[in-house]
Amino acid sequence: MRKYLAVLAALAALSVPVQAAAKHKLLVISVDGMDWRYLRDADSLDLKLPNIRKLLALSQVADGVTGVWPTVTWPSHTSMLTGVPPFRHGILANASGPLDITQSYWSASKIKVPTLTQCARASGLTTAAVNWPVTVNAELSWNLPEAYAKRNGDSSDLASVDRYGTPGLVAEITRNSPSFGYRWLDDRTRTLATIYLLQNKHPDLMLLHLAELDSEAHEEGPFTPAANAVAERSDELIGDILKALPKGYDVALVSDHGFERIDHVANLKAMAAAAGITGELQVAGGLVRTDDAKMADWLRGQSGKGDVGRAVPHDELVRFAGADALAAFEPAPHVIFGNAVTGPAHTPSTNAGTHGFWPTRPDYHSIYALSGAGVKPGKLGEIEMVSLRDRFAQVLGLSCPR
């Protein structure tokens, strides 16, 4: 237990704020699924990202951001605003099932620790969010939450957003920009809403979640021509926002997780059963763990043979997952674990690419860049996602409790 508490204390110490001017307004743009290699390897990928490149030249830029477990959209976005891992803030997956805010992770009431937006509100600042996860019922000045009864790719049906958003806000934005009244809240209309709020409401903290890159990278795979085209479209939308941005705003560009191409699904339970090994296995796409000695030995024997990758050290398991196990392993590159109990060892993946892998996986990082008055451009090295809340808070001139 002492070792466990020591690891948690070390985690809290990682939230070191940046050297930035205090009491500025802040715009946070999150591009879902923008693995840091889109930026690091932009030249070799022949990516046209003129607006992001211009922003990076003016920014403090992380050499990759180590994410949280699980490396999934809603837990990650909640960690950005709480500064703690999902096992502490309580958002352990994306919302699922019917749009019932008493169930799943739709509502901000499910978050178990204080958030940056609550801290800002308590300090008298105004806040706005467009498509930010886990913001139904959030105490925001203006809110168009990520809420959907129907989906079109990563777009939400506008009727659900209107139902759970700030009353009258959808109609107000539509009066200003009639094409906003399109059936779906997609990246184009999310951008329209963000520009409207920035220019007409001037929130102290503005949160935007662009989601279409994630959808395309799942469908076609990351770093493919199709995904690269959506990355370039995201750059165009960011350019539109920056052109319209009022004076006095710092800008943070972030993402929620890395991305990896998937070749096949490895069904470990079926593989173990075929080898005559029985016992408990806890399988997620990016991690398998067990407290069964025989199963642990079997996993160790599989490591490095094509499906089972690196053993996750105990300290990492405690730090990122708040959990213990006799043995834990992540998948080999381009493999994801499946839960089939019988059948073939390998099955095709339903997605060409995915995320949800262990956070310390090599090259599997998200992004962070901060620009604005008083922010000295330069390299930060690799940072942790749980540090972002305090970095944002310092720009806003806030000292937020945990």
| Interval 80-93 mean pLDDT | 98
Same domain? For 277 and 190 the reply is: no
Same domain? For 280 and 247 the reply is: no
Question: Is residue 208 included in any domain, yes or no?
Answer: yes
C-alpha torsion angle, residues 139, 386, 147, 349 (rounded to 10): -170
Same domain? For 249 and 307 the reply is: no
Same domain? For 297 and 375 the reply is: no
pLDDT per residue as tens digits for the range 114-137: 999 999 999 999 999 999 999 999
Please, which pLDDT band fits residue 402 given cuts at 50, 70 and 90? confident
How many Cβ atoms are within 10 Å of 304's Cβ, its own excluded? 12
Question: Does residue 309 register a pLDDT over 70?
Answer: yes
Question: Is residue 294 included in any domain, yes or no?
Answer: yes
Confidence at residue 74, expressed as pLDDT on a 0 to 100 scale: 98
Same domain? For 169 and 120 the reply is: yes
Same domain? For 123 and 240 the reply is: yes
Q: Count of domains in the chain?
A: 2
Same domain? For 30 and 124 the reply is: yes
Please, which pLDDT band fits residue 59 given cuts at 50, 70 and 90? very high
How many Cβ atoms are within 10 Å of 46's Cβ, its own excluded? 9
Question: Does residue 235 register a pLDDT over 80?
Answer: yes
Confidence at residue 22, expressed as pLDDT on a 0 to 100 scale: 52
Confidence at residue 13, expressed as pLDDT on a 0 to 100 scale: 40
Question: Does residue 100 register a pLDDT over 90?
Answer: yes
Decide the pairing of beta strands 249-254 and 368-371.
antiparallel
DSSP code string of 138-191:
---SEEE-S--SSEETTEEEHHHHHHHSSTTHHHHHHHH-GGGGSSEE-HHHHH
| Interval 243-247 mean pLDDT | 97
Same domain? For 145 and 55 the reply is: yes
Question: Mean pLDDT across the chain, nearest whole number?
Answer: 94
Same domain? For 246 and 325 the reply is: no
Question: Is residue 177 included in any domain, yes or no?
Answer: yes
Question: Is residue 285 included in any domain, yes or no?
Answer: yes
Question: Is residue 295 included in any domain, yes or no?
Answer: yes
Question: Is residue 402 included in any domain, yes or no?
Answer: no
Question: Does residue 11 register a pLDDT over 50?
Answer: no
Residue 165: give its domain's CATH number. Answer: 3.40.720.10
Question: Is residue 356 included in any domain, yes or no?
Answer: no
- Is the pTM value of this prediction over 0.75? yes
Range of the domain at 293: 263-350
Give me the percent of the chain exceeding a pLDDT of 90.
Answer: 94
Same domain? For 28 and 162 the reply is: yes
Tell me, rounded to whole angstroms, the distance of Cα 299 from its chain centroid: 29
327 SS3 class:
strand
Same domain? For 253 and 286 the reply is: no
Question: Does residue 21 register a pLDDT over 60?
Answer: no
Question: Does residue 14 register a pLDDT over 70?
Answer: no
Question: Is residue 355 included in any domain, yes or no?
Answer: no
Same domain? For 27 and 68 the reply is: yes
Confidence at residue 19, expressed as pLDDT on a 0 to 100 scale: 40
pLDDT per residue as tens digits for the range 318-359: 999 999 999 999 999 999 999 999 999 999 999 999 999 999
